[in-house]
Amino acid sequence: MSSSRLIKCLSSNNYIVRSFSKSSIPTTPTPDFPGEYKEPIVKTQIPGPQSKALIERLNKLQDPRAAHFFADYANSRGNYISDVDGNILLDLYCQIASIPIGYNNPELIKAAKSDRWVSAIINRPSLGVLPPKDWPALIENSFMQVSPKGLNQVFTAMCGSCANECAYKAVFMHYQHVKRGGKPFTPEELSSCMKNQEPGSPSLSILSFKKGFHGRTFGTLSTTRSKAIHKLDIPAFDWPAATFPDLKYPLAEHAKENREIEDRCLQEVEQLIKTWHIPVAGIIVEPIQAEGGDNYATPYFFQGLRDITKKHGVSMIVDEVQTGMGATGKFWAHEHWNLTSPPDIVTFSKKMQAAGFYHNLDYRPSESYRNFNTWMGDPVRALELEVVIGEIKKNHLLDNVVITGNYLKDGLFDIAARYPGLIQNIRGEGTFLAIDFPTPAERDRVISHIRLLGVEMGGCGERSIRFRPMLVCQPSHINQFLNRFDQTMKELYKN
Amino acid sequence: MSSSRLIKCLSSNNYIVRSFSKSSIPTTPTPDFPGEYKEPIVKTQIPGPQSKALIERLNKLQDPRAAHFFADYANSRGNYISDVDGNILLDLYCQIASIPIGYNNPELIKAAKSDRWVSAIINRPSLGVLPPKDWPALIENSFMQVSPKGLNQVFTAMCGSCANECAYKAVFMHYQHVKRGGKPFTPEELSSCMKNQEPGSPSLSILSFKKGFHGRTFGTLSTTRSKAIHKLDIPAFDWPAATFPDLKYPLAEHAKENREIEDRCLQEVEQLIKTWHIPVAGIIVEPIQAEGGDNYATPYFFQGLRDITKKHGVSMIVDEVQTGMGATGKFWAHEHWNLTSPPDIVTFSKKMQAAGFYHNLDYRPSESYRNFNTWMGDPVRALELEVVIGEIKKNHLLDNVVITGNYLKDGLFDIAARYPGLIQNIRGEGTFLAIDFPTPAERDRVISHIRLLGVEMGGCGERSIRFRPMLVCQPSHINQFLNRFDQTMKELYKN
């Protein structure tokens, strides 16, 4: 999708009030999920009595306070998650945006029982030391099938936080390598790093954006700026944070104003790079700030970032942990930008199931064992990625995402029109959509209420609901959501 | 094993020169591994031509420089790893100490094909939000079957680095919670942490030991002190490092001298806690410094650490990522110490396959979502742990480790006696053994040479070889190693 199409999508308002009846549902090139439920089934409160008993039992062993309910995964199918009390919910949150092609996908079941998968699971290799014989072929058939344009190397890791941590390390090593002009390490560097002191442990920084989220380990948490609860009591590096554009939606209706906002933010980024008391080696940015509230910027802004980073010799890391793998209608959200040169690093996890980052040879460290660990990822997750990519291509799931996303967005505009001021800032790309409510309490009330009607959803930012359906979510599923959302709004606001 | 037995083991020198013939091999209560190879088979150079071609191919996609060879895992069995050139090697390194019960273990194969495993793999949950219905029971049947005495909670994670990162977070949250006397966060804390500034992002430290290794992410790397290559060019927290005892082996022959060394080290730890310019919230220590050279301290030292940490309100983290899960003849190496009160936190990964840390309720954060992430570990690895623990118990693998380890140690003393000054500092517990060579080059030459005779091994520290066989390694396997080690020494040193 071109940038003009992106802006058009984000500003679409040609909705009409509809009844969300079966006849109005568009079809997609994607086949129905085999054996899926017809619609949500709610039998008890959620969490129900069995979930509550299990929460009590888990509490003796582990912190259960974030649990929505206990799931019965054997009984879950496609877009529907089952709980232990026999409730069947339409899942639009999908394990914090990490299920790509449906619960109990038959192709994944078949593959998981194969000797190849079984061997990968039980003979877990140290991939850096003793890689399996099919590892290069598997990389070609999985990661490289969807490698971002211009990046031909992949570093594999275990999760999104580790992907970003290792990306930061690659950026710092690259920065110092350039600085020392390829010369070997000095004796001072070799000895001082053992004391965590300069010059071996240099004072360098990664610039991130306010409201950004990049993980919870010590490096990534120093760049996460979404919520205090993630950061309180944890020591952090004194790294700079720039303001992310706080744009007005629909974007196209506020193009001039938004451009001014983005220009100010770009100026701030450049100013921070020039003046921060610790040199900025890299910046990290999400294409859409997800955990921080589904905040958008335009391709103009990201091209500006690329220009500034190029100008100042700063690496540009695009964090596609949540946006990658199709939810915006393209494999990578940054494809919507048409950058004049690729980002230096693109990180991934979640719906990829396998985690890591793409890069080029200039971000391979000068020696081996420098960006390294015991497992270096997990080959079974690369095998899973191979199946997921195959399904996306065979079943035209990116086309499905565009059709389903447009249908969802239209439906949201329909309902919002009947609740002026309550449902705000409908925005997004593909099925990666979000809406705002006036207050956090109202947002939370809607999520709790619609769960009791059989839809599992999640919030983000202060007062947003984020839509994170699977790539196999079709307009018919969205219709079930829209009817229940309509009902929720009626019941809560007596309209 | 009591501490006196530990010291006796570490100081054992009642070896006799033997021929490593079949008749001298002790038996263990552990059954032979089904369908295992009889001995190593070497057909080509290692890496052979097919491994070399694959290294070339991988180089186009990923850094291959640390690869020893490409493995054929389908063809590997028990203690033997197969490479792509048809060589069969006795594996005494085991994917950097992380394979517990043998390649293609039949019980793991059977379990991996079960519906329960398949569902866990392909329906990957966000364990903190939507745990599977069998999660509490699975925790009870896996992690809690081997929980260290005195610790009844488990935090699950994806790898050893993340286990330690999250443990540090738990320690910092605990420290601040105690400091603020349970009071709520102040507005200053809530706002300052978003800027990575005090008081919300406090200046606190974790004390670690020189030569220690705890991971490679930014928090853990700040506590890793084993080698410069891991740390160069990466910004680090200004945290203190104490001297780990550099004891003389055999320990019992140098008891007085060693005690003085340990006393000096304990004084240094206390001095650092009292005087470091950043308050010390926790210390982390390996029971045996593994990556840093298999360095030992006595139970006296660890009890001293426990006393000092208790006295100063500092949390004690024991990093059992490499030592845990049976290799010392007990599930946890710190069981050998008989501490007067348990450590506050014990971290694990590697042979557990599942990663995380044990703790008590006082290290559960005050609110949910504070020590959190998308996946919170991987249930399939807990399922694997369940099988591994079952096999350890059913097949008496801890007894096997003690018998095999003693046999290995005796054999090493035999050979060392014929190469005085060349093979030094034979030391260890269970099969967690190590030897030193006079120089790094000599150590590397031995490892390279014995690989060509069909034994896969790994180094540690500057000039050590570490033995990290599986728990299913028997004296008969060790005999194969000893004969090849003997041959290696003869061929390299013409004795």
What is this model's ipTM? 0.95
Active site residue A231: no
Cβ of B219 within 8 Å of Cβ of A215? The answer is no
Kindly state the average pLDDT of the residues B181-191.
96
A108-129 pLDDT, tens digit each? 999 999 999 999 999 999 999 9
Within 8 A of A353 by CB-CB distance, chain B residues are: 124
Kindly state the average pLDDT of the residues B331-359.
98
**A136: CB partners within 8 A, 6+ apart:** B54, B57, B58, B60, B61
Closest C-alpha to A89, from A362, A450, A379, A410: A450
How many helices (H) and strands (E) chain A has is answered by 16, 16
Kindly state the average pLDDT of the residues B335-341.
97
Within 8 A of A220 by CB-CB distance, chain B residues are: 218
Give B495's pLDDT tier (boundaries 50, 70, 90).
Answer: low
Residue spans of the domains in chain A: they are 3-108+397-493, 125-377
**Residue of B119, B123, B159, B233 best to disrupt the A interface, most CBs of A under 10 A:** B233
d(CA B48, CA B84): 8
- Asked if the model's pLDDT at residue B5 lies above 90, the reply is no
The answer to whether A222 faces chain B, any CB pair under 8 Å, is yes
Kindly state the average pLDDT of the residues B40-44.
98
B121-145 pLDDT, tens digit each? 999 999 999 999 999 999 999 999 9
Residues B142/B389, Cβ–Cβ less than 8 Å: yes
Half-sphere exposure of B379 (CA within 13 A, CB side): 25
Q: Which residues pair with A154 in a beta bridge?
A: A358
The answer to whether B366 faces chain A, any CB pair under 8 Å, is no
H runs (alpha helix) in B246-289: 255-275
pLDDT confidence of residue B356: 98
Give B3's pLDDT tier (boundaries 50, 70, 90).
Answer: very low
pLDDT confidence of residue B306: 98
**Residue of B51, B52, B54, B62 best to disrupt the A interface, most CBs of A under 10 A:** B62
B191-249 pLDDT, tens digit each? 999 999 999 999 999 999 999 999 999 999 999 999 999 999 999 999 999 999 999 99
* Assigned CATH for A3-108+397-493: 3.90.1150.10
Active site residue B350: yes
The answer to whether B361 faces chain A, any CB pair under 8 Å, is no
* Assigned CATH for B36-104+398-493: 3.90.1150.10
Is A216 annotated as a binding-site member? yes
**A48: CB partners within 8 A, 6+ apart:** A69, A83, A84, A85, A86, A87
Q: What is the mean pLDDT of chain B?
A: 95
pLDDT confidence of residue A494: 80
pLDDT confidence of residue B287: 98
**B330: CB partners within 8 A, 6+ apart:** B1, B336, B398, B430
B395-421 pLDDT, tens digit each? 999 999 999 999 999 999 999 999 989
Kindly state the average pLDDT of the residues B434-460.
98
> Which ranges of chain A have pLDDT less than 50?
1-17
* Shortest distance, CA A134 to any CA of chain B (angstroms): 9
* Assigned CATH for B125-377: 3.40.640.10
Is B156 annotated as a binding-site member? no
Within 8 A of A218 by CB-CB distance, chain B residues are: 165, 168, 217-220, 222, 237
* Shortest distance, CA B243 to any CA of chain A (angstroms): 12
Active site residue A213: yes
d(CA A226, CA A229): 9
